[in-house]
Structure 1
Amino acid sequence: MIIPTVTTEHLILRAPQLSDFEAYADFRGSDRAAFVGGPNSPAQAWQQLCALAGQWQFRGYGRWMIADKETDQPLGVTGLHHPFDWPEPEIAWSLFAAGEGRGIAYEAALAVRAYAYETLGWSTVISCVDSKNTRSLALAKRLGCKPDGQFTQEVLGEMDVWRHPSREALA
């Protein structure tokens, strides 16, 4: 499967590359990964990086590496995430330290939502956020999401479900 590339004003959403591993492993090994099941060992980070590419094969959509448009520096991960035990596909985002505080997650999430609605033809999508993750909660609200229940995942625990505005509402 060829993972498509999405370009925004400042970012490239692209397939993970071997050269991204160090930045990804640094993120997964840090406290920044606490809301996504970390911190993790380098071996676990390797498996998770491989899973980013693997979901594209199984589902036909997945998560991209967020890269700076000018330098190709990896800044985080975003995309359509749908583990087998999730209630439905979600727009997910995680930023590396180098991407924090620059509006990158917002720009990337808007591009992912546009991809879901315009390319895949979806009419709705969610984001699952730990209630203690204040930055992700603020981003969900900035994206126009509304609370839509909760669900509990075996490893991550209880998460709030945030419903993105529908395709029709954004038209």
Structure 2
Amino acid sequence: MNLIARHIPRLETERLILRAPSEADLDADTAFFASEAAKFVGGPLRRDEVWRVLASLLGHWSVRGYGYWSVDEKDTGAYVGRIGLWFPEGWPEPEVGWTLMTHATGKGYATEAALAARTHAYDVLGWETAISLIDPDNTASKAVAKRMGARFEYTYEHPKYGTSEIWRHPAPADLVNGGMEAYA
């Protein structure tokens, strides 16, 4: 485990473990970023570019004190994606984001892990609001945002990634039971 990873909190949900990103995720991430599904998150990417993304994820933790977690199934240990908190330079606002491996979609994992990440942002980091940037054609991510209680707010032109929709998450005071009722 590297120096930064030692300081990344481990979160657990009913079915998932959110842990520090690691180089062990590189093969699965490389396969994902070579697939059609990666078009919604900046892909396709070559392996060396995916490695740089991993370095960026860890660097974000170092600079901001929060970031993306790698997500594993509790029962099997299988890597299912990355979910977390993101606010790099040039981003409009702090974001709750998710990227699932293709084999892990349709199981509620994105919602479950993103709710845990948002709860961490609100309860531990003191965030008062959060957004999710979603590609207008990414209906699956819009469905996750809706399940989390987020609402479409406006269209945003990102200088690198193009048109995105900004989905606003409910404020902490507007949530019951940390927002978990949306998942129930």
TM-score, L = length of structure 1? 0.96
Partner of 1:137: 142
Partner of 2:126: 121
Partner of 2:97: 92
Partner of 1:11: 16
Partner of 1:61: 66
Q: Could you tell me whether the CA contact under 8 Å between 1:35 and 1:156 is conserved in 2?
A: no
SS of aligned partner of 1:65: strand
AA aligned to 1:24 is D
Matched, 1:31 2:36: yes
Give the whole-Å Cα distance in 1 for the aligned partners of 2:71 and 2:36.
19
Partner of 1:77: 82
Give the whole-Å Cα distance in 2 for the aligned partners of 1:121 and 1:89.
12
Q: Which runs of 5+ in 2 are unaligned?
A: 177-184
TM-score, L = length of structure 2? 0.90
Partner of 2:47: 42
Q: Which 4+ stretches in 1 moved above 2 angstroms?
A: none
Give the whole-Å Cα distance in 2 for the aligned partners of 1:106 and 1:125.
15
Q: Could you tell me whether the CA contact under 8 Å between 1:129 and 1:136 is conserved in 2?
A: yes
Note the C-alpha offset of 1:97: 1.4
Give the whole-Å Cα distance in 2 for the aligned partners of 1:48 and 1:146.
28
Note the C-alpha offset of 1:158: 1.0
Give the whole-Å Cα distance in 2 for the aligned partners of 1:81 and 1:27.
20
Identity of aligned residues (%): 44
Q: Which runs of 5+ in 1 are unaligned?
A: none
